[in-house]
Structure 1
Amino acid sequence: MHDARPLLFFDSGVGGLSVLGPTRALLPHAPIVYAADSAGFPYGTRSDAEIAARVPALLGRLTERFHPRLIVIACNTASTIALAAVRSALDLPIVGTVPAIKPAAEQSVTRTIGVLGTLATVRQGYVEDLTGRFASDCTVLRHGSAALVRLAEAKLRGEATDIAAYRTAIAGLFDQPGGERIDIVVNACTHFPLIADELAQAAPHPVRFVDGGPGIARRIAYLTDGQTWPEEPVAGRAVFTRLGDAEAALAPALRRHGLDSIEAL
């Protein structure tokens, strides 16, 4: 008997694909349901109270519908605000996404790190806690950008994006006092690894970008170690809370990530 229960990935949009990719590399036969709260997108401009109420409720509905073996909140904003509430509400493993400040501090030579996320993520006390625990000897500069989230979504829809828009979006990070010393940037939004080439091109000087995707994938593999999977890869499903033209335009990108069907919640 093989366990057909899926891994459920959750984000406000398609950013969680940057976590799904390395997870599929480790667990190629895992059934996947990818859920995007397109009706609530983008989370980074919403209040903490809205996210804290919305995410547990949606994940409760998704759990009832798909009966996952594990949930991945593949969204930094949702994780930093709602992870504890989701874990309290649901009796199954929940994997969150947190800014990769620890590995950034381990790799930084100049001891100046940039944290690039959404406005909602970079204002969280959780970021300060991670900085105090793992990067206390570093200068950590933060910047939140909703524009980068929209650029990532546009890119995955196949739309052309202008490198000047990326330069404008990240100027608020590098133009801060000390920004010229940044040698490593934490992509504290799962959307941002999807535009890694554009970010590297837009940066005013060479920097490295790090994100939590590979580490999250290893965590998922650890938590599911010893479990059974279907003998052959299973086509994944993408679920949207609002299904319109913008979501339909994502179909080619979703298929590249093994998500062959699109449906509404």
Structure 2
Amino acid sequence: MSSRDDLPHCVVFDSGMGGLTIVQELAAVGFAGRVSYAADTGFFPYGEKSDEDLIRRVPALCRALVEAADPDILVIACNTASTLALEVTRAVVDIPVVGTVPAIKPAAKATQTGVIGVLATPGTLRRAYTQALVDAFARHCRVLSHGSLKLVELAERFQVGEAVEREEICGELEALLSQSGGDEMDQIVLACTHFPLLRQELVACALEGVNFIDSGQAIARRVMSLLGQDLRASSEASLSPDRLLTTGASPSLERMIKAGAMSGFTEHHQIDFDDPASRA
């Protein structure tokens, strides 16, 4: 474990603040240790970047984060990054790496109507990995999907208290629900870690009986398992926010610093990172 502290140290990494939903889940399952949060603010949002740039950037950045923070475990709290670069990242760092993938399997298992929805970024939806999950676990289902970058921005604005009209959120969800068969949908996969930040708003927009499902709890449980920790009630949790790491200026940076502070990450560092994507 970390030479600087007897407590296990976890780095949760995302393009923006969506991974804070994973930090919340870690606290809920009773993670005992330090958590640092890393946001690639200098390259946000990932959903509009090319596969090639992300495949070059994410593993190199994760290696830099491990060198800078010296964690015991790394969580890639981003569906887009995980579906592209998880295995390469595991190959370049010497600690366990937990990825994030769309919760299609549990949604397909839970549906009573046979119709499920996937709300994701366009990048996640176009990945072969996502289609492979559908083929493996949801062949018996009708799977509808909608890719939204706007919902990522709305989630970041909403999280820091900026004005967001519910109609904007409902409009993005309606693009999924209004598809043929959408009136039968009973499970919606939130396949971006930003989207659970809007869970209550999405519930208010949805038809009665629609359940929203994400991978957050499963990720937290996997971290606990790899670290050999027992699941405990959230009232017994002793998660300690450590530091916020960012990569550069962008419209997301100021919001990220504010959201990080609201979650207890008051110590902020910018890491020096030589982006291989920029040299290509």
Tell me the alpha carbon deviations over residues 126-180 of structure 1, each in whole angstroms, 9 at most, x when there is no partner: 1111112211100011111000000010012210100111122223212222111
Question: Unaligned 5+ residue runs, structure 2?
Answer: 231-237, 272-280
* Seq. identity, %: 41
Residue from 20, 32, 36 that aligns with 1:33: 36
Residue from 254, 259, 265 that aligns with 1:253: 259
Residues 24 and 203 (structure 1), Cα distance of their counterparts in 2 relative to 1, 3 Å cut: same
Match of 1:187? 190
Please give the secondary structure, in 2, of the residue aligned with 1:9: strand
State the AA in 1 paired with 2:197.
L
Shift of 1:26: 2.9
Quick one: distance in 2 between partners of 1:16 and 1:88?
22
Matched, 1:156 2:159: yes
Question: Unaligned 5+ residue runs, structure 1?
Answer: none
Q: May I ask how many residue pairs the two structures share in their alignment?
A: 261
Of stretches 45-54 and 251-260 in structure 1, the one that deviates more from structure 2 is 251-260
Quick one: distance in 2 between partners of 1:66 and 1:174?
42
Quick one: distance in 2 between partners of 1:254 and 1:160?
19
Quick one: distance in 2 between partners of 1:26 and 1:205?
28
State the AA in 2 paired with 1:240.
T
Kindly indicate whether the alpha-carbon contact (under 8 Å) linking 1:11 and 1:37 is maintained by their aligned counterparts in 2: yes
Residue from 232, 239, 242 that aligns with 1:236: 242
Match of 2:147? 144
Matched, 1:121 2:124: yes
Match of 2:18? 15
Match of 2:111? 108
Quick one: distance in 2 between partners of 1:163 and 1:26?
30
Matched, 1:200 2:203: yes
Match of 1:66? 69
Shift of 1:254: 2.3
Please give the secondary structure, in 1, of the residue aligned with 2:132: helix
State the AA in 2 paired with 1:151.
L
Match of 1:217? 220
Shift of 1:75: 0.4
